[in-house]
A and B are shown apart, each in its own frame.
Chain A
Amino acid sequence: MASVARPVPAKDVEIRQRPNIASADVQLPAVRDYEQVDREITATLSPTGAWYLGLAVAVFFLLTGIAAWMYQIQQGLGVAGYNPPVMWGVYIITFVFWIGIGHAGTLISAILYLFRAGFRTTIYRCAEAMTVFAVMTAGLFPILHLGRPWKFFWLVPYPNWRWLWPQFKSPLVWDVFAILTYLTVSTTFLYLGLVPDIAVLRDRETNPIRRRIYAVLSLGWRNTDREWRHFARMYLFLAAFSTPLVLSVHSVVSFDFSMSLVPGWHTTIFPPYFVAGAIFSGLGMVFTIIIPIRKWFGLKHYVTLNHLDAAAKLCLFTSLVVGSAYMTEWFMAWYSALQVEQDFFWNRLFGQWWWSSAILYTCNMVLPLSLFSQRLRRNTTWLFILSIFINIGMWFERFVIVVPSLSHEFNPWQWTSYAPTWVDYAILAGSFGWFSMWFLLFIKQFPVIAIAEVKEIVAPRLRTEHEHGIDVAGLHVDYERETPGEKE
């Protein structure tokens, strides 16, 4: 549901269309009517050669990861590079990484919806799909991390013959419920948001089999006023549930660390620090995904530079929050006057793990400062490159949280090192293959831009000038593929 249904008065048109304005304006001047929206967005569903190639590469990486996992099951967890006491490694790092990626999707689809931020309209579908597939990916890693992965369901409270129940005071049990709830609610949110769009596909489809499938998936949606009224209310409540949910999920993930006494983990800053980092990393991944899509699918006049500019500002803000959390950690280590904490941070910054910290701070604190420049916020090439750095930086953030703490605990005789093995790397690559495969399949079956919501911000056809001052002719410019101000 788009946040703003009423077009701005015609007098603002000149201001809106001036090139290079940093604005979260929701108007789409190059989109003229509802039919154009249907035509252009449904046209993106036709598979292309590049799409098949991308899918093949994704499946290749996935198969590589599956092969490595099978090897690990056969040989045991020892092949994964664990080195006591470093018994959490790439799997837990990557689990937190993917959970974090998912958070920006919910931020864009739910939190920005409640805040009436119009720029979310054209990017939220991609972000929401990204959330679902990222959480699906993340959910695999605790299972991969188990020595006996087939026992994973023991964490679920179900009546069994010995009446054994999980320990509800354990953060690991909280994790299971937080992630399952998050996956269920995100998937519901994505699917129900898709229903009106699937109805559009159903009504345009000529292939009888596909039409039948779309008819079932659309739940018989008919666009009646009754359906829209209850749908809008449901959407609002789901957004209201998702907002605290997304904050709770990464807080719960951070409890896995902060409930322990390990230096660097036992800190109250972790929940907000994790949530901000999650949203930051997710925004990075949104850019990684949306920039090629808008280019390759010819959707630059839907996902305009104004939208990217606004999202980049959000990215900059979360980078500053994360940066201040890093600095607070340093300060607290100094201010606590605990030798073990101070030694640990010295080792993290200047000792054994200096290189990973350097990658982390460069990618997450230094490079995003470039987004203070309006020119760079509107430069899609730079945004894409920066998003890759942010993805790398956020993976290393979790590396820096997990590995240096475990390798440098209280007693010097425990101090050790850690190096991932080829199995870790193969499973990490497999996770990207798994995520990409689902995403690629999604974008060719369902619209990547919410059709019904885009129609909300496109001015409707009117017989006469509207009493609110809506003048269709005055709001629109001649149709052109490039949005005014587009420079790439």
Chain B
Amino acid sequence: MRGVIAHYRELDALVEGIETFRNANLGEVTVYSPTPRHEIEHAVHAPPSGVRRFTLIGGLLGATFGFWIAIWVSRYWPLVVGGKPVSSWVPYTIFGFEVMVLVGALATVFGMFIHSRIPRLTHAVGYDPRFSSGDFGLWVACDPDKAAEVEQIMHRTGAVEVRRER
């Protein structure tokens, strides 16, 4: 992957850089930040996360499985007591709820993994350990012919360190 990586010390400089690159349309932008900041989220203009779909589907599947296995088991080996229904939904709600939470939560985590593209066991191009400490990073994926222009914008918006990666 080719592109240019910039280090920013200040948050507002980074935000200016993100907005400039978004308007200039010079390449795909990735922001590195030691902590989530609403300013970055607004500047990036990312679509809503798709993790919620995994949560919904996982929760529904879990609840369905929880009720199904309890009903199936009670019908497979019926214990008729006092003429009461063999499959009684009231106590099975507890089991259905617990399995809904379990499967829904695990599906949510799975969805986050899919969307965030983790686990990742290889080093990402341009990543610097300082991005988990105090610095912000801005990676712009671009062809070498546009790299000079990208570097110029980065310097102008307040980047303290700029380098090309290939």
Contact = CB atoms under 8 A, between A and B. Distances in A.
Interface of A: 1, 5-6, 33-35, 38, 157, 163-169, 173-174, 177-178, 180-181, 184-185, 188, 192, 196, 199-200, 202-204, 215-216, 219-234, 237-238, 241-242, 244-245, 248, 252, 255, 452-453, 455-456, 460-464, 466
Nearest to A178: B98
A223 B32 contact: yes
A224 B51 contact: no
Interface in B6-43: 9-13, 30-38, 40-41
A228 B33 contact: yes
B30 A220 contact: no
Contact of A461 (B11, B40, B120, B127): B11
Interface of B: 9-13, 30-38, 40-41, 44, 46, 48-52, 55, 69-70, 73-74, 76-77, 79, 88, 91-92, 94-95, 97-99, 101-102, 104-106, 108-109, 111-113, 115-122, 124, 127, 129-134, 158
A413 B74 CA distance: 38
A242 B55 CA distance: 13
A225 B134 contact: no
Contact of A232 (B36, B50, B109, B134): B36
A223 B33 contact: yes
A233 B52 contact: yes
B40 A234 contact: no
10 contacts: A5-B37, A169-B91, A202-B132, A223-B131, A225-B33, A232-B49, A237-B55, A252-B94, A463-B12, A463-B13
A463 B117 CA distance: 33
Contacts of A168: 69-70, 73-74, 91-92, 95
B80 to A, nearest CB: 12
Nearest to A234: B112
A199 B123 CA distance: 12
Contact of B49 (A216, A219, A229, A463): A229
A234 B115 CA distance: 11
A157 B69 contact: yes
Contacts of A177: 95, 98-99
A167 B94 CA distance: 13
A165 B77 CA distance: 8
B12 A238 contact: no
A225 B36 CA distance: 8
Contact of A222 (B32, B37, B73, B130): B32
Interface of B (DSSP majority class): helix
A387 B12 CA distance: 44
A219 B106 contact: no
Contacts of A178: 94, 98
A1 B91 CA distance: 35
Contacts of B48: 233
A223 B108 contact: no
Contacts of A455: 34-35
A230 B44 contact: no
Contacts of B134: 33-35, 38, 461
A168 B105 CA distance: 22
B108 A220 contact: no
A237 B58 CA distance: 12
Q: Which 7 A-B pairs have the closest CB atoms?
A: A220-B120, A203-B129, A455-B35, A234-B112, A233-B49, A34-B134, A219-B119
B98 A230 contact: no
Contacts of B117: 226
Contacts of A188: 105-106, 109
Given A38-B133, A203-B133, A460 B10 contact: yes
A460 B38 CA distance: 12
Nearest to B49: A233
B94 A230 contact: no
A6 B49 CA distance: 22
A31 B104 CA distance: 38
B12 A466 contact: yes
Contacts of B40: 225
A293 to B, nearest CB: 22
Nearest to A203: B129
Contacts of B113: 219
Contacts of B34: 34, 200, 223, 452, 455
A212 to B, nearest CB: 11
Given A225-B41, A230-B116, 19 more contacts: A34-B133, A174-B91, A177-B98, A181-B98, A188-B109, A220-B119, A222-B131, A223-B34, A224-B31, A225-B31, A226-B117, A228-B36, A229-B46, A230-B111, A230-B115, A233-B51, A237-B55, A248-B97, A461-B11
